[in-house]
Amino acid sequence: MDILFSAFEILLRWDVLIALLIGSCGGVVIGAIPGVGPAVAIAIILPATFSLEPIVGLTLLLGIYGSAMYGGSIPAILINTPGTPVNALTTYDGYPMTQRGEGRRALSLAYSASFFGGVFSILCLILLSPVLAYIAPMFGSREIFLAALLGIILVITAHKGQMFAAAMMASLGIFVQTVGMEPIKYSKRFTFDQSWLTGGLNLIVVVLGLFAISQAILLLVEEDKRAKAVKVTGGLFQGLKELGKHKRIAAVSASFGVIMGMIPGVGEFTSQFLSYTYAKGSSKTPEKFGKGSTEGLVASETANNAVPAAAMIPLLALGIPGEALTAMMLSVFYVHNVNPGPTLFQNHLDFVIALYISLLLLNVLVLIFLIFSTNSLLKVIQIPSRFLGMSILILSFVGVYSLRNSFTDCAVAAGFGIFGFILKRLDLPIVPIILGMVLGEIMEGKLRTSMMSVKSPIDFINRPIAFILFTIIILVILLQVRTLWKNLKKR
């Protein structure tokens, strides 16, 4: 109980509450604009949060992260264009409902399902926190190394049909993080005698290039698009009642979201896919799926909104980000010399609970905001895509230049922007590069530390958690080899 009071004390400050309000409402707007998305917004705003206190900065970023998918469902349902990539599945059933004249009902149901997913996930995590506080200290250097390795492997294997490309990008990320002065032996790595490379390539600069500048270039180069005007009439409250008819699907989908969100590299897409498959399999009318099924809509929206809170678990408990957005948030901790990991749950449980309560509050704020502002948001969707590209390019400057006022950083970001643009054109994955950089650094440091106390390789896995993680890694690799072999035989 004391921890709960202490958490409220951290939260109930005007700057934190303003950050929460701006983050949650801003996140909805950003999510509603196809072509922007939370990754671009977080990348741009990240350096500006470095001057804020960790709780203020993180609340702002969490607000954007947790609310963008709510906004993303609006264009997905009304104009068949997902606002964020994870809203793609929402178009399957949301848009056919709009075509039937049930756009208002679809939106209302999507908001309610998203709200349920978000709240369910946060409540699970608040209840799980004492367990995590107990387990997290059992993670030493070797366990964190193995968890990071598992994270990289899962990120690669999660890219079905693009596994080799994902492995190529993760390797690039691992290599890029090694460039510059090595911190233990003080030897230079791949600097080609260039002084600007001695300090290494800054993660934020790379992130801004790969996510924000690349997106700006993509919008500027491609054909100009402008969404059609749509108007939603009537109230948006009935979805909460209607969700009651789909309690089972909502609960199962939210559980999938929580479990998948906790596993590094898996996230929204897998949880949505599993939830949708479950909902279709257990439905009395599976033939309606993809043609405007309310069950399908509930499954996809509940699952994707249950992920953000759960994705904070590996970050906070182990210091291991599971995807690009949490990797960006990790840098906020680092800038303020706060090390997320086992000690955070042990010594600052109130801080962790405060973050979860802020997530809970943001879900309430977003729901209220959406009920009253949906029609105004429809105007935002209509911003022409090239104008949006121009705005993102101008905004990207703030992100990169405010870091160190360096032209070199901007040139590096522009270079990564072109590279990211090419990857987006080819539909190749970008996230593994960022995770390769973050997890590569963690693996390098933790392997070095853990090997000091290890005499033979078998000692490395002589602790229970290390052994379990090692077994999971072997199983995941064996399963992938088996799948590849089967696919090869089919050809």
Structure tokens at 114: 């998203």
Helix (H, G, I), strand (E, B) or coil at 463: coil
Considering only the stretches 65-73, 219-227, 293-301, 342-350, report the one whose residues sit in contact with other proteins under the rule CB under 8 A: 219-227
Instruction: Confirm or reject binding of residue 188 to other proteins (CB under 8 A).
Output: yes
From 14, 337, 372, 427, residue interacting with other proteins (rule: CB under 8 A): 427
Least separation in angstroms between CB 450 and other proteins: 9
Least separation in angstroms between CB 164 and other proteins: 5
Instruction: Confirm or reject binding of residue 415 to other proteins (CB under 8 A).
Output: yes
- Max Cα-Cα span within the chain: 70
Least Cα distance to 69 among 279, 288, 229, 305 occurs for 305
Instruction: Confirm or reject binding of residue 432 to other proteins (CB under 8 A).
Output: no
From 448, 462, 481, 483, residue interacting with other proteins (rule: CB under 8 A): 448
Q: Considering beta carbons, is residue 101 or 183 the nearer one to other proteins?
A: 183
Dihedrals phi, psi of 188, to nearest 5 degrees: -85, 145
Q: Considering beta carbons, is residue 262 or 332 the nearer one to other proteins?
A: 332
| Strand partners of residue 299 | none
From 88, 189, 288, 336, residue interacting with other proteins (rule: CB under 8 A): 189
Q: Are 231 and 103 in contact (CB under 8 A)?
A: no
Q: Are 148 and 446 in contact (CB under 8 A)?
A: yes
What's the one-letter identity of residue 422?
Answer: I
DSSP state of 330: H
Least separation in angstroms between CB 31 and other proteins: 19
Query: Which residues are CB-neighbours of 178 under 8 A, at least 6 positions away?
Result: 189, 190, 440, 444
Instruction: Confirm or reject binding of residue 178 to other proteins (CB under 8 A).
Output: yes
Q: Considering beta carbons, is residue 57 or 292 the nearer one to other proteins?
A: 57
Dihedral, CA of residue 345, residue 348, residue 349 and residue 355, to nearest 10: -100
Instruction: Confirm or reject binding of residue 221 to other proteins (CB under 8 A).
Output: yes
Residues 120, 306: Cα–Cα separation, whole Å: 7
Helix (H) or strand (E) holding 112: helix 103-135
Instruction: Confirm or reject binding of residue 54 to other proteins (CB under 8 A).
Output: no
The 224-263 site mask, x for binding other proteins (CB under 8 A), equals: x---------------------------------------
| Strand partners of residue 181 | 188
Residues 259, 274: Cα–Cα separation, whole Å: 11
Least separation in angstroms between CB 172 and other proteins: 6
Structure tokens at 26: 């801003």
The 4-23 site mask, x for binding other proteins (CB under 8 A), equals: --------------------
Instruction: Using CB under 8 A, list all residues that contact other proteins.
Output: 47-48, 51, 161-162, 164-165, 167-168, 170-179, 182, 184-185, 187-192, 213, 216-217, 220-221, 224, 384, 386-387, 389-391, 393-398, 401-402, 405, 407, 410-411, 414-415, 417-418, 421-422, 425-428, 436, 440, 443-444, 447-448, 451
